[in-house]
Amino acid sequence: MAYSTASLPPNSLLSYVTFSCWDHTAGPLTKGLWASGDVEPPAEAQVKLLTQLVLKSELDRNADSSLVDCNMYHFPSLDVFVTGHLFGARCKSRRARRLYCLSVAVPLAKKSTYLHFHRIAERHLIHRLHIYRVLLHEVPALSKAD
């Protein structure tokens, strides 16, 4: 496992959250995984597949753009509904642009409940990602893990 893991609170609406980036030499890389405390964490192969599917669909995205895009994906084979929050950032330590993604995976059975809260959650998440994007550029220690 090449990524850090942590737990979400039990009885969460979410199955797991991943933080990943697209590396132009290594391809999609998962940097962090937060899994719900009351659900079995996803297999590493499932996390890798999710990262590939979400990031490969956005390869032509401009990494210099200041926008955070929210895209929704329905993966019946993985039994999850995913919202991917994609953004580009320039890493100070590498002086390179990268595409990053915070993916929120919800069990298909809880999709309709999640969608009621999605708009509020999305606004807060985008605000936090804009702050992180600035920090990633300004603080070399944050991007050295990349």
Write out pLDDT tens, residues 21-37: 887 777 788 888 998 87
pLDDT at 78 over 70: yes
* Domain ranges for the chain: 4-144
Residue 82 has pLDDT above 90, yes or no: yes
Q: Which of 21, 46, 45 is nearest to 32 (CA)?
A: 21
- Bridge partner residues of 16 (DSSP): 35, 105
pTM of the model: 0.80
Amino acid making up residue 109: A
In which band, very low, low, confident or very high, does the pLDDT at 111 lie, cut at 50, 70 and 90?
Answer: very high
Three-state secondary-structure class, residue 66: coil
- Rounded average pLDDT over 36-65: 80
List Cα–Cα distances, 6 to 23, 33, 36, 37, 38, in angstroms: 23, 6, 9, 9, 13
Nearest Cα neighbor of 25 from 94, 71, 89 is 94
What pLDDT is attached to residue 122?
A: 83
Segment 120-135 shows an average pLDDT of: 80
Other C-beta atoms within 10 Å of 45: how many? 8
Helices (H), the chain: 44-56, 111-138, 140-144
Q: Give the confidence band of 1 by pLDDT, cuts at 50, 70, 90.
A: low
Q: In 3D, which of 72, 105, 107 has the Cα closest to residue 86?
A: 72
